[in-house]
Amino acid sequence: MPALTETDKYGNFVRRIMRAYSRRVADLDIEGLKGLVELRKELDAHIEDAVKQLQKPKQGNGYSWADIGRVLGVSRQAAQQRYGQRKP
């Protein structure tokens, strides 16, 4: 499946914002550290949601754990252990 250029551009935009935010916190904004950590938790939850949606069949097929693991650079088992179960 070809890479989605629009998605890549959007991801790069988000990365630039994240770098800028972390630089602001690193510039002696100790109170901002809490917000940065909360953002990480929120990002983790969104990644889990994205994986769940990728597995749902769309137009006949969803993605397998092997597909997801390949993209993440981990084994099928590692991907399933990390994202296969909702944490309470």
Query: What residue ranges do the domains of the chain occupy?
Result: 5-62
Helix axes 32-55, 65-72, angle to 10 degrees: 140
In 3-state terms, what secondary structure has residue 58? strand
**Which residue in 32, 9, 11 sits closest to 21, CA to CA?**
32
Q: What is the model's pLDDT at position 8?
A: 87
Residue 58: its pLDDT value, please?
73
* Segments of the chain scoring below 50 in pLDDT: 88
Who's near 24: CB < 8 A, 6+ residues apart?
32
Q: What is the pLDDT of residue 36?
A: 93
